[in-house]
Amino acid sequence: MCRWIAYLGQPTYIAEFLYDGPRSLCAQAQQSHKAKLGVHGDGGGLGWYGDQKCPGLYRNEGPAWADPNLRELTAQLKAKLFFAHVRASTGAPNTFVNCHPFRMNHWLFMHNGQIGEFGKIQRKLEQALSEDAYAAMQGTTDSELMFGLLVTNGLFNDPEAAIRTTLNSIRAVMLEQGIKDPFRATFAISNGEQIWAVRWSTDVYAPSLYQRDLNGDILLASEPLDSEAQNWQEIPPNSLVCLRRAAGAKTEIEIEELFDEVPHVRAV
Amino acid sequence: MCRWIAYLGQPTYIAEFLYDGPRSLCAQAQQSHKAKLGVHGDGGGLGWYGDQKCPGLYRNEGPAWADPNLRELTAQLKAKLFFAHVRASTGAPNTFVNCHPFRMNHWLFMHNGQIGEFGKIQRKLEQALSEDAYAAMQGTTDSELMFGLLVTNGLFNDPEAAIRTTLNSIRAVMLEQGIKDPFRATFAISNGEQIWAVRWSTDVYAPSLYQRDLNGDILLASEPLDSEAQNWQEIPPNSLVCLRRAAGAKTEIEIEELFDEVPHVRAV
Amino acid sequence: MCRWIAYLGQPTYIAEFLYDGPRSLCAQAQQSHKAKLGVHGDGGGLGWYGDQKCPGLYRNEGPAWADPNLRELTAQLKAKLFFAHVRASTGAPNTFVNCHPFRMNHWLFMHNGQIGEFGKIQRKLEQALSEDAYAAMQGTTDSELMFGLLVTNGLFNDPEAAIRTTLNSIRAVMLEQGIKDPFRATFAISNGEQIWAVRWSTDVYAPSLYQRDLNGDILLASEPLDSEAQNWQEIPPNSLVCLRRAAGAKTEIEIEELFDEVPHVRAV
Amino acid sequence: MCRWIAYLGQPTYIAEFLYDGPRSLCAQAQQSHKAKLGVHGDGGGLGWYGDQKCPGLYRNEGPAWADPNLRELTAQLKAKLFFAHVRASTGAPNTFVNCHPFRMNHWLFMHNGQIGEFGKIQRKLEQALSEDAYAAMQGTTDSELMFGLLVTNGLFNDPEAAIRTTLNSIRAVMLEQGIKDPFRATFAISNGEQIWAVRWSTDVYAPSLYQRDLNGDILLASEPLDSEAQNWQEIPPNSLVCLRRAAGAKTEIEIEELFDEVPHVRAV
């Protein structure tokens, strides 16, 4: 289980969201208020869209709160769209290739959640990867594999359809294998223009997701980054979120139901 | 502030003390019950006396709980005397040379505590180092500097006198500079035969120290390593502890008052 | 391409082979005389059999010559059987899980070589893994995958048959896919009692392998560890080597032809 | 001994100088043509001036050629003035705080060279540091100490005078202590507007320094970054170089004699 933030708005220095205040992402990494695991010290990462189409990626397997390079980098970098992530491993080794965000082509993906009893179906899921997605895998996490399946299922052409197809297909394999542990998935995806985010689970514990409007810029976060709780809106479970921003305009957020039927009801 | 353990007894595998159970040293590193700082993720280290007079040293700046090499090493190594330490930095950078234990000649030192407003007197304290102790410094912590001062003050010849002299001399410099923050020092020293440990502070919050007798082997620890609290005895503040073990005999512990007058009373 | 050494003999300190002299393994890592790549700075590793059936494993993605922990560990550890390895990546990321030796159950494996155009057949080879071998994979190298295939092909029961079957099966897949790049494999395997080693290639450039008898102890090495070339015997290409040591006796080496027909002739 | 490059010119992506071609800085790190030590794998670093007055700093103790984050960062970052450095340790441990460039206030410093028998005079040199410079020290290299002495000697007000004073004062201490090993110093300093560089030694082996004019932008480098040797001009020993760039103009280089008398002649 992890903590993450995603931002779309006016170009802004990244550091403030990671380091300022007692609930910043790196403060949460040391002491989370809402996460299953209190400490997120198994790596940190940043993906940001700068001048180039392809985003930059910074990933380090040590604790983000103690990483001097991440602090330096985010103090210098302004981005209109970035992802930042702190990791608490659910099993995969602490290596930079197992840290979020993941990148394929110019797309980014990061995740908080878990495929229940992943070991039982990892191989089957890998077999479903397209050749390109398989070749792009660098690590061994369930998260990166989910990203590969999203790409396999058409992410680059129709993100919303790919999201629904992928979640359903993973769930189908879990059901087929008799897995009873939940599949929890709160993740974000971007192509550098828009952000798609999902809060979802096959049980009633979909990992939390919040949004805050900062004068026209929008921040998504696993949990509020400051103590002004009234300024944060919880995204309900079973949501598909889309952030867009037209040139010169404010960032817009659209939240729709991800699935008509709630999976954990169907699963009974 | 840190957590540490020190063992003198029959040769035993080290891993159990670091990893077994919900209060092992690495569990404490993630979630301490008695430390000022909850998370000790700024490095871990091990010093052990094996076949050679000079102890082995393993230090890594990442979180000990996630270090596969520390786990491997301690699962293979038996030692009759070892020190293990998890670090929460009070300022010095996370580098392996700033991790405990520290070693000079065949002596080891590790520490939990802090010299208040260290930056104000670091230079003055460094000037008191002997040439040999100065040359042996590798990092920039107040802990390593304390070790250097202990060596300067005759540690290799008369440990108990060196301890008292060093604590007094540091305290004198603090008073001279008008430092009001406390000087807290709970540390362990070994030459491979005996362990000397101190629990002490210039205020009433001497960092905790406990001992447990394990059928004739003795373990010192910042806080109990298991939930059998009744088996752990708290070492009182202002104590100087000495562990000895004659060939074929059980480990013996001796606890005496460190100073006649309690420093925080004198300081008023 | 990598450099490695394997030792079976009287328990001895490991450090001397890694650090002593201008041709030690770590000196070779900085400047090899016989390797395709001059610098082997992409990680180092050690596997050793101590008191326990399962060997210890130390792996670090940084350069072995600059790793203080490897130096400490090998200065303390005596082993009767150990593997040490320095890595020059042929593509897989520098992470500890991609460093040699690899371990499954109580077996070790390390490798110098390369499966030509591995990316083209990685997926097909992975599909051949047994469930257990698949589940044991931690990294993404061709070397670890070879180990998994060896295990799949019965390594734990009949090492020599598993070696021949595995090399033939990989080669068959390469031929089937029209891969013209060579398959070069100079590796070592151990169960803690014996060492099996192979020097082989589908072309005429089988990565080098040497042996030296040290008064009844035997060392295998990618290239001589000292300048006394006359004391080192080159293992010819297409060899299967086996080291054994009865209690109280000297280490014995047996070298036989790996395949009746030399593969690179057959491949024409 | 190390390799470094310094750039002042139109904002440009940094990556090309570090990675493109067989003589890029990271290629030199693996195999230098002109350095005393062939391999520079003991860390790498980057300092760059972006939108803020204070430059960004990225330092990592592993080999620069294998550092995915350095590659990512330099592929995204454009800078008008940057320093990049690959390190071959002359003794100080491989930690990020011992990697170049070093920063105080908004000034950067990096170095290739060595104070002969540094251990003999380290303490004496440290005593000459101003309080501010002493407090800013993070590591234990002779290079960082030189920077501290430069700051102590007025670098922020009069760089050229501070350079001459500092070199003379270090040399005076060496002579006083009877040190016969040379003092070699080829370094660069910047305040974000100008670059000052020195090529100098007390013997005849001043570490090399070259410049290339790239259509009005200027690059300084320990050795040519490409095979077009005719485009690179060697800076002679005993030089003090200054790069300046007026708004809208080309970068200008000025090279003057550092000292009237060549030190290695005086030293006889």
For chain A, list residues whose CB is within 8 angstroms of any CB belonging to chain B.
Answer: 30-31, 38-39, 41-42, 61-63, 65-66, 68, 89, 93-94
In angstroms, rounded to a whole number, what is the distance separating the alpha carbons of residues C145 and C123? 10
Cβ neighbours of C69 in B, within 8 Å: 58-60, 69, 96
Strands in C56-60's sheet, in edge-to-edge order, are C56-60, C44-48, C78-87, C2-13, C217-221, C210-214, C233-234
Q: Which two tokens stand for residue D203?
A: 């013997």
Handedness of CA B27, B28, B32, B33 (dihedral sign): positive
Span A206-263, pLDDT tens digits: 999 999 999 999 999 999 998 888 899 999 999 999 999 999 999 999 999 999 976 5
In this complex, do B39 and A31 lie within 8 Å of one another by their Cβ atoms? yes
The answer, yes or no, to whether residue B39 has pLDDT greater than 90, is no
Could you say which DSSP state residue D156 is in? T
Q: What was the pLDDT predicted at D267?
A: 42
With beta carbons less than 8 A apart as the criterion, state whether D86 and D52 touch: no
Return the pLDDT at D228: 85
pLDDT tens readout for residues D119-155: 999 999 999 999 999 999 999 999 999 999 999 999 9
Stated length of chain A: 268
pLDDT over 80 (residue B105): yes
How far apart (Å, rounded) are the C-alpha atoms in residues C256 and C236?
10
Amino acid, res. B52: Q
Q: pLDDT at residue B89 above 50?
A: yes
More confident residue, C83 or D91: C83
* Rounded Cα distance, B99 and B139, in Å: 9
Q: Choose among B119, B127, B131: nearest Cβ to D135.
A: B119
Amino acid at D221: A
Percent of chain D with pLDDT over 70: 96
Average pLDDT over residues D39-49: 94
Asked if A94's CB is within 8 angstroms of B66's CB, the reply is yes
Q: Please report where in the chains the tokens 């919303």 appear, as a residue.
A: A160
Per residue in B74-84, pLDDT (tens digit) is 999 999 999 99
CB A2 within 8 A of CB A85: yes
Before C101, cis peptide (omega within 30)?
yes
> H-helix or E-strand containing D234?
strand D233-234
DSSP type of residue D124: H
Question: Which residues, including other chains, have CB under 8 Å from residue D230's CB and lie 6 or more apart?
Answer: none
Specify whether the CB–CB gap between A109 and A187 falls below 8 A: yes
Confidence of residue D263 (pLDDT cuts 50, 70, 90): low
Alpha-carbon gap, residue A105 to C19, rounded angstroms: 44
- The answer to whether the beta carbons of residues B175 and B167 sit under 8 Å apart is no
The alpha carbon of C75 is separated from its chain's Cα centroid by a whole number of angstroms, namely 22
DSSP string of chain A, one letter each residue: -EEEEEEEEEEEESHHHHHSSTTSHHHHHHS-SS-SSS---S-EEEEE--SSSSPEEEEESS-GGG-HHHHHHHHH-EEEEEEEEEE--SSS---GGGSSPEEETTEEEEEEEEETTHHHHHHHHHHTS-HHHHHH--S--HHHHHHHHHHHTTTTT-HHHHHHHHHHHHHHHHHHTT--S-EEEEEEEE-SS-EEEEEEESSS-PPP-EEEEETTEEEEESS-SSS-GGG-EEPPSSEEEEEEE-TTS-EEEEEEES-SS-HHHHT-
At residue B201, does pLDDT exceed 60?
A: yes
Give the neighbor-by-neighbor strand order of the sheet with D217-221: D56-60, D44-48, D78-87, D2-13, D217-221, D210-214, D233-234
Residue of C nearest to B79 (CA): C76
Adjacency order of strands within the sheet including D102-104: D102-104, D107-115, D183-190, D195-201, D239-245, D251-257
Give CA–CA dist A69/D51, Å, rounded: 17
Per CB-CB distance under 8 Å, the chain B contacts of D119 are: 135
- Of the pLDDT bands very low, low, confident and very high (cuts 50, 70, 90), residue C267 is very low
Question: Do B140 and D138 count as a contact with CB atoms less than 8 A apart?
Answer: yes
Output the pLDDT for position A35.
67
Mean pLDDT value across residues D194-198: 98
Neighbours of C (≥3 Cβ pairs closer than 8 A)?
A: A, B, D
> pLDDT band for position C263 (50/70/90)?
low
Q: Is the pLDDT of residue C44 over 90?
A: yes
pLDDT digits (tens, 9 = 90+) for C146-190: 999 999 999 999 999 999 999 999 999 999 999 999 999 999 999
Walk along chain A (268 residues) in steps of 10 and give the mean pLDDT of each run.
94 95 88 73 94 96 94 96 94 94 98 96 97 96 98 98 98 96 97 98 96 96 90 97 95 97 50
Q: So what's the pLDDT on residue A36?
A: 62
Instruction: Report the residue from D50, D60, D72 with minimal CB separation from A57.
Output: D72
Contact C68 D30 (CB under 8 A): no
Q: How far apart are CA D154 and CA D189, in angstroms?
A: 13
Query: Which chains border B (3 or more CB–CB pairs < 8 Å)?
Result: A, C, D
Bigger pLDDT: B219 or D262? Answer: B219
Beta bridge partners of D102: D109
| Cross-strand partners of C201 | C184
Residues of chain D with Cβ-Cβ distance to C1 below 8 Å are: none
Residues with Cβ < 8 Å from A24, sequence gap 6 or more? A16, A17, A18, A225
- Yes or no: say if A167 and A237 are a contact pair by the CB < 8 Å rule: no
- Tell me the CA end-to-end span of chain C in Å, nearest whole number: 25
Q: Indicate the range of B69-73, B188-192, C20-24 predicted with least confidence.
A: C20-24
Q: What is the pLDDT of residue A262?
A: 60
* Cβ-Cβ contacts under 8 Å, D41 against chain C: 30, 39, 41, 63, 65-66
For residue B255, what pLDDT is reported?
A: 98
Of A56, A57, A72, the CB nearest to D56: A72
Query: What's the confidence (pLDDT) of residue B36?
Result: 62
**Residue D55, min C-alpha distance to chain A (Å):** 8
Min distance A98 CA to chain C CA atoms (Å)? 10
Q: How confident is the model at residue B45 (pLDDT cuts 50, 70, 90)?
A: very high
- What domains lie within chain A, and their CATH numbers? 3-257 (3.60.20.10)
What is the mean predicted confidence (pLDDT) over C64-76?
96
Work out the pLDDT band at C21, boundaries 50, 70, 90: confident
Q: Are B118 and B47 in contact (CB under 8 A)?
A: no
**What interhelical angle do A118-127 and A159-176 show, nearest 10?**
130
Contacts of B138 in chain D (CB under 8 A): 93, 140
Q: Could you tell me which chain D residue has the CA closest to the CA of A49?
A: D76
Q: Are A99 and A89 in contact (CB under 8 A)?
A: no
Give the CA distances from residue C149 to residues C47, C144, C146, D51, D126, in Å, rounded to whole numbers and listed in that order: 20, 9, 5, 53, 58
D266, pLDDT greater than 50? no
Q: Of A97, A123, A134, which has the smallest distance from its Cβ to C93's Cβ?
A: A97
Maximum C-alpha span of chain C: 51
Residue D1 has a pLDDT of 74
Residue B101: both structure tokens together: 């234990």
- Reported confidence tier of residue C262, pLDDT bands at 50, 70, 90: low
As a whole number, the mean pLDDT across chain C is 93
d(CA D170, CA B152): 28
For residue D65, the chain C residues in CB contact (below 8 A) are 41
Q: What pLDDT, on the 0 to 100 scale, is given for residue A263? A: 56
Q: Is the pLDDT of residue B35 over 90?
A: no
